[in-house]
Amino acid sequence: MTKTWFISGAASGLGLEMTQQLLARGDAVAGTSRRDGALANLEEKYRETLLVLKLELTDVKSIRAAVDAAFEELGTIDVVVSNAGYGLVGAAEELSDAQIDQQIATNLVGCIQLIRAALPHMRTQGGGRIVQISSEGGQIAYPNFSLYHASKWGIEGFIEAVCQEVAPFGIDFVIAEPGPTATKFREGLVHAESMAVYDDTPAGQIRRLIQTGAFVLKGDAARTAAAIISTADREKPELRLALGSAAYQSISKALAARLSSIEGQHDVAFAADRPDV
């Protein structure tokens, strides 16, 4: 049975991989891009099943216009994929105010507004699924990626709450958390102006790994996209989906460490309760 999809950032990375795979299997896709003509080749090949829309993730009016147009044209959209975003690299002190604002506006506020724009349509149609492309960086943290992590941890917290709010309407979520994956994500990274004082710190070490290409990208983009699609096809998928061995291992390690830490705080935590309750 064919499905209809809305995918932001459909012209590159995992968004493009998903769009190509879905169209090839016969599904209909409303794909967005910031650039005119970015999906021209696919438009020519899939005239009947690909709707291309322009969307700027930092412009709420643009988000709402694209989402409204997609639902109006396709009628029902089974899965909305919030995929567009980018990474900001630099120690917190190195980042400019403008870079911080842009990262949060795109990866956090933009994704929040995209989800908010889709919810009324999904309520009206009786349900649907929203897939948020997050990252292993939504549950772990590397030095030099503080604002990127802030955006990913933030959107995951937002979804944790919203999924409880809209479950009665038949709307559910999948948070996809890929590890380092061989896409053009690295090429799209925005770098802060480096400060020499951080050269011999963990932030400087990560910076050099990125600059030299030594940061290992174990994830395969096509396989990652296929895993997201197959999970979104399931009747009742888990909320979070770790993708790639690196993500699985790093998230498992981080969760185990946090669990161990809180277990050691039992007496202190309970001592903070009111004694009369």
Strands (DSSP E) found in 114-204: 128-133, 171-178, 190-191
Question: Shortest CA distance to 133 belongs to which of 212, 267, 275, 232?
Answer: 232
Q: Which of 128, 46, 48 is nearest to 81 (CA)?
A: 128
Alpha helices (runs of H) in 31-91, residue ranges in sequence order? 40-45, 60-74
Which residue, 228, 221, 152, 187, is CA-closest to 13?
Answer: 221
| Catalytic (active site) residue 86 | no
What's the chain's length in residues? 277
Give the strand pairing for 240-243 and 4-7: unpaired
Sign of the Cα pseudo-torsion (18, 184, 104, 30, in order):
negative
Neighbour tally for 54: CB within 10 Å:
14
Q: Are 41 and 59 in contact (CB under 8 A)?
A: no
Helix (H, G, I), strand (E, B) or coil at 154: helix
Q: Which is the catalytic residue, given 46, 148, 198, 248?
A: 148
- Among residues 149, 157, 4, 141, the alpha carbon closest in space to that of 70 is found at 4
DSSP helix, strand, coil percent of the chain (3-state; round to 5):
50, 15, 35
Q: Phi first, then psi: what are they for 173, rounded to 5°?
A: -130, 155
Q: Which residues are catalytic?
A: 148
